Amino acid sequence: MKKRSNGSLARPTALVVVLAGLAAAAAVVGAAQSEAHGNSPNDRHDNGRHYGWADWNKWPGHDYGHGHGHGGGNHGPKPLPRTDVVQTEYGAVKGFIKDDVRTFLGMPLAAPPVGDLRWRPPVKPAKWRGVRDAVEYGSMCAQNKRLLDFGAPSTSEDCLYINVFAPAKSPRKRPVMVWIHGGGHTVGAGDGHDGSALVQGNDVLVVTFNYRLNAFGFLVHPALDGSGKTTNYGFLDQTFALKWVQRNIAAFGGDPDNVTIFGESAGGIAVLYQLISPKSKGLFHRAIIESGSVFWRKLPTLATAETAGMNFAASLGCTDQSAACLRNLSVQQILSIGDQFNTAVNDGYTLNMNYREAFETGRFNRVPILNGVNRDEYRWFTALSEVNSGHVVTADEYSERLEAVFGVEAAPSVERLYPLHKYGSPSEALSAAVGDGNFVICGSRNLNQAASKYVPVYGYEFTDRNSPQVFPPVSFPYGAAHTSEIQYIFRNYRGARVEPLPPLSRAQQELSKQMVAYWGTFAENGDPNVRSQPRWPRYAKRDDRVMELRTGAPRVISDFAKVHHCEFWDDYNLDLSGPIN
């Protein structure tokens, strides 16, 4: 590979897209935003979406329950049965039952982070008297509408709520699976991820929750951060949810000593945060990373992040750089330029080293790991760009696009590995190159290799190229793109769409059942193997085998590195990254 005159590879100068920068890939931000309304704890409203027990005809997999909430009246099917009362540390809650799953929605996780609590670590909510109806989701955290139907606009800061899906009956404490949603740390919410299929297929409990996003969750500023000890608010919300699980999940039938964290995209990166943070030790016992292995990515330093935060403050008129001024800014002001803050930082306290260093040296929370990617990850982002801009990548601009991502000196080597004639379109060629080398595909193999020296690791590649897609059609096939696997784990997943996705085919439904069984069995004992399904080998660097999750029947493959040119990308990333210290 061609080097610079000083012996180093040309570092990319533009379009260096990593997973936590999802927001940067979305060129269009929806302008329409609506204020949250409703103050009753039993009448939660969501900016852009309002789904709950009273609106199950509008939400995937649930029936309309009348006589409660908006639009109930005396029409529609019989209301869903209610659960017994469950006592949490903050008060009693009562959910509903459907298909042998007890569902509790919109339970307060933390005090609303508003006013003086904005840009502070989460604190416990006020206790309540009586029984709280846990029958509809809480508000989504403040966010712009980005990533098309992957997120919805919200202006609510009162958004830290948690949801539990549990078996209707269970004679013993069951494993717990805690989902951390994706969305580039700028959009998304815990709702929309119905845990019922995992509960029904594995007799586990599933927990979802919201955490602060964009500048609300990841702004760093010297007037706020306590010399690094109170940064990474979105990460702290996630850790706070894990602590809530430790204190409360037994009341729902869960085992606090058997907790699996799992997440996709930025949620997968959040799993990495938890794995490498000393503050999360003992809060979970297994980890599943879906399309989040940003192994080579370096976290911003505290000083770099503080400079960006001070520029943010000045841009919004806080010339005195005071905490008071920042906390008096409106939600709309913050959202206007807040999506630039979409990653945790190396603050020396909650996070004190980069991913590669942590996993290569074994200085991470050592739990079994299930980790993988989708075959055509980056087609999702290329499609997003095409939908937003209306522009289709042409053959004439292919070389220029590669130079923008990989640098002028490295681009010719990349183009020789990814020649246009091997792909159906320039968009597919570009997606393959960026996805393999500058995204998470080969990074997932690097993480498997490093972590497997210390803990059991199981690798996978999801390859169903006919998966239904949330985004509209584009000039090329999506294939097994980023996010495609979510609907196989969470029944009726649809992002922020109102309309459901096309249903899974019979073969895809079977794959979904197999994946749900693998995920749930891994949560049970740290090994995904199910007696009735193809055996999934533990990852070992010497044979480099991962499970291909495909329709027909999953199978073990050993050519992942060859297909994705990972040896080439290992050299490329090592030259860019340099030694650990």
Strand intervals (E) in 437-507? 457-462
151 within 8 A of 187, measured Cβ to Cβ: yes
Catalytic residue list contains 377: yes
Give how far Cα 18 sits from Cα of 10, 92, 244, 378, 458, Å: 17, 42, 31, 10, 23
Neighbour-count burial for 188-212, b at 16+ CB within 10 Å, e otherwise? bbbbbbbbbbbbbbbbbbbbbbbbb
Neighbour-count burial for 115-126, b at 16+ CB within 10 Å, e otherwise? eeebbbbbeebe
Considering the candidates 306, 360, 377, 485, report the single residue annotated as catalytic: 377
Considering the candidates 265, 293, 431, 467, report the single residue annotated as catalytic: 265
Catalytic residue list contains 35: no
Catalytic residue list contains 196: no
CA distance 575 to 161: 43
Place of tokens 């005195």: 320
Place of tokens 């949801």: 163
- What would the DSSP string read from start to end of 311-329? HHHHHTT-TT--HHHHHHS
State which amino acid sits at residue 197: A
Q: How, if at all, do strands 555-557 and 96-98 pair?
A: unpaired
DSSP 116: G
Q: Residue 371 — φ and ψ, nearest 5°?
A: -145, 135
Helix (H, G, I), strand (E, B) or coil at 199: helix
284 within 8 A of 278, measured Cβ to Cβ: no
376 within 8 A of 315, measured Cβ to Cβ: no
136 within 8 A of 120, measured Cβ to Cβ: no
Helix (H, G, I), strand (E, B) or coil at 94: strand
Neighbour-count burial for 539-575, b at 16+ CB within 10 Å, e otherwise? beeeebbbbbbbbeebeebeebbeebbbebbbebbeb
CA distance 529 to 550: 16
Q: How, if at all, do strands 369-374 and 286-290 pair?
A: parallel
Considering the candidates 45, 185, 193, 482, report the single residue annotated as catalytic: 482
State which amino acid sits at residue 568: F
State which amino acid sits at residue 482: H
351 within 8 A of 344, measured Cβ to Cβ: yes
Place of tokens 């584009």: 474
Place of tokens 């920068």: 21
56 within 8 A of 95, measured Cβ to Cβ: no
Q: Report the catalytic residues.
A: 265, 377, 482
